Structure 1
Amino acid sequence: MNCDKCGADAVTHAAYSGAHLCETHFCESVEKRVRRRVREDDLIPDDATTEDPETWVIGLSGGKDSVVLASILDDTFGVDRRVEMIALTIHEGIEGYRDESLDACEELAADLDMRHEVVTYADEIGVEMDDVVEKDPENMAACAYCGVFRRDLLETYADEFGADKLLTGHNLDDEAQTALMNFLEGDVQQVAKHFDASIGSFDDREDLEAFVPRAKPLRDVPEKEVALYCHLRDIPAHMAECPHAEESYRGEIKELLHELEENHPGTRHSIMAGYEELSALAADRYREDGEGADLQECAECGSKTSREVCRKCRLVEAIEAV
């Protein structure tokens, strides 16, 4: 195969677009999509200045997605004094897994000369994921616990560091999987919350002022393309899968979506195009009905929640009771 743009040997063929691209044009394509998403999400407001720069906290796990995101953002904005970036790594307490990925995080942060902070479940929540999986008081997949804890710490520390934006490395596959899971579970309220977590929904929304706006600049890039970009650019990354991930419902959805994409290229893009429009409509309906708008401080930890005690604290209490 030859590159459609220059005739050089192609390194990839994107079935959803039909494009054959060489290494140079493939990497440029990935970077272009990430930068376009940054522009479309207005991550740098018009009033950002070198005297009053934006602070971005980047969730850096050491996996391919987060290291690619950090690398492209640093390459694009590393010399832009309107932006200050902080890499934040969450150590969940998974033996033989997170310690290795932490090495990748530290190596990349050093290479980029980026401020790097590390927080742990053990210090901040008082639990470690290996113990959570063993006890499993709520009879849930490991990812369900971990997702709650991780989101809480990312939001807590983004706020502590004075972040204007919280950026995560969710790719197209991640987002399409979440959309499909919410559809299959019939969870319309979660669909609405997905919209409320996006940058655009924070404009003129007093009920969301308590949260640091989140953004996902990789959400237009398929997982395999992120992995290929990471390999071609020789970015240090920890490629192993979490040992608990195979137990999750998301894993089944991932396999289903992979098969659909193989048979019908473009399925992921189609799912997200419809999902983002539907999530906006669902969010409007829930706001009109007044559902989910009243937030209060958690009686245990002080974080914002719609209940007296937040989900994280309720899970920790259940784990400690076993």
Structure 2
Amino acid sequence: MYVYFKRDAGRFFTRKEFLDFVEKKTLKTIQKYNMLRYDDKIAVAVSGGKDSIALLYVLDKIERAFRTELVIIHVDEGIKGYSDLSPEIIANHAKKLGFKLYQTSFRELFGYSIDDVAELYLKGLVEWEPCSFCGEWRRWALNYLANKAGATVMATAHTLDDFAQTVIINIMRNSLPRLLRFSFSRERPIPGFVPRVYPFLELYEKETALYTHLRDLEHNDEPCPYAEYSMRWDLRMFLYEQEEKHPGLLFNILRFHQNLLDKAGERLIKLGKCIVCGYPTPQRLCRAHFLQRYVDSIVKNEP
């Protein structure tokens, strides 16, 4: 019985064939981009959703043949009815696989949850949508946890869909520096940042979702209540529709970005250090602490 038809390859897959395909494709992607080394300590960023749970189990299977060590890092964004469902699920997987778990929360690190920010946003007091805060704070928090765990590399479950969205968003925002810093390689590490790798780079989101379903892996399937406020939400649906009409479109966006990086070479913006945390940044404050101070000022002056 077939469970999946891959349009860009023109091929049907049975359950076993599909699971093998995802695992082998992930391994090939790791090898193609030199993502992991035989003695790495890998911090796997796990949100509790379908993609990150799939990555955790695929990496566990792949890395058994090497001397690598895997740990789990998780950040609670503070979203009632969404992120509060994940810690127990992740703890269950950590116990089952025998992985050490490192956790923190936005409230612990920055003094606010995303629910707090969303409340201010809906009152018209905050300029940016909750997703802007969530993305910046999560990046900072995951790097913090990866450093705390002593990891040599961090693996996240971003899929081809995610990368295509990010490339287009940065073009729409005229943010060339961010586009150039957004690399798949760990060959040009930035001091202070644990190198990030993306083993699901060449897999579609629907493929990682199906992998989680076919392996019956426990995960948080609740949608984020604030996603609809973001530019990414609209773009996600648009690109999905275009990919259905024009198979291979997302890969073309990925190749465009790779070609851009190749032509740009080493022409990256020089980074200083954040005056609060010391993390690399082109400004006096890293974006995470800029946003924290921004919320501080709003709360202080809130009527």
Aligned to 2:2, the other structure's residue is in SS state: coil
Q: Tell me the number of residue pairs that the alignment of Structure 1 and Structure 2 aligns.
A: 295
Q: Structure 1 residue 14 and structure 2 residue 2: aligned? A: no
Structure 2 counterpart of 1:112, from 84, 87, 97: 97
Equivalent residue for 2:220? Answer: 238
Q: Structure 1 residue 176 and structure 2 residue 164: aligned? A: yes
Aligned to 1:11, the other structure's residue is in SS state: strand
Q: Structure 1 residue 157 and structure 2 residue 145: aligned? A: yes
1:79, CA displacement in angstroms? 6.0
Aligned to 2:143, the other structure's residue is in SS state: helix
Equivalent residue for 2:211? Answer: 229
Percent identity reads: 29
Structure 2 contact 192–279 (Cα < 8 Å) conserved? no
Q: Structure 1 residue 295 and structure 2 residue 272: aligned? A: yes
Equivalent residue for 1:321? Answer: 297
Structure 2 contact 46–56 (Cα < 8 Å) conserved? yes
Q: How does 1:1-322 map to 2 (within 5 A)?
A: 9-45=1-37, 48=38, 53-78=39-64, 80=66, 82-136=67-121, 137-195=125-183, 198-202=184-188, 208-282=190-264, 284=266, 286-287=267-268, 292-296=269-273, 298-322=274-298
Cα distance in 2 for partners of 1:235, 1:305 equals 38
1:97-136 C-alpha deviation (Å, 9 max, x unpaired)? 1121222211211221111111111111111110011113
1:264-315 C-alpha deviation (Å, 9 max, x unpaired)? 111111111122221332353x33xxxx22322x222222222222211111
Cα distance in 1 for partners of 2:171, 2:35 equals 29
Structure 2 contact 170–178 (Cα < 8 Å) conserved? yes
RMSD of aligned residue pairs (Cα, Å): 1.6
1:255, CA displacement in angstroms? 1.1
Matching residue's letter, 2:134: C
Cα distance in 2 for partners of 1:184, 1:162 equals 36
Aligned to 2:144, the other structure's residue is in SS state: helix
Cα distance in 2 for partners of 1:209, 1:22 equals 45
Aligned to 1:199, the other structure's residue is in SS state: coil
Cα distance in 2 for partners of 1:282, 1:122 equals 38
Aligned to 2:43, the other structure's residue is in SS state: strand
Cα distance in 2 for partners of 1:19, 1:269 equals 18
Structure 1 contact 210–304 (Cα < 8 Å) conserved? yes
Give the TM-score of the pair, scaled to structure 2.
0.92
* Cα 1:86–1:76 shift into 2, 3 Å: same
Cα distance in 2 for partners of 1:138, 1:192 equals 28
Cα distance in 1 for partners of 2:24, 2:218 equals 21
Equivalent residue for 1:4? Answer: none
1:20-46 C-alpha deviation (Å, 9 max, x unpaired)? 11111111111111111122232343x
Matching residue's letter, 2:297: A
1:143, CA displacement in angstroms? 1.1
Identify the range of structure 1 (300-309 vs 153-162) with the bigger mean alpha-carbon deviation: 300-309
Equivalent residue for 1:6? Answer: none
1:185, CA displacement in angstroms? 2.6
Matching residue's letter, 1:293: K
Matching residue's letter, 1:129: I
Structure 1 contact 44–54 (Cα < 8 Å) conserved? yes
1:162, CA displacement in angstroms? 1.6
Unaligned runs of 5+ in 2: 299-303
* Cα 1:231–1:294 shift into 2, 3 Å: closer
Cα distance in 2 for partners of 1:184, 1:129 equals 25
Aligned to 2:260, the other structure's residue is in SS state: helix
Cα distance in 2 for partners of 1:294, 1:303 equals 9
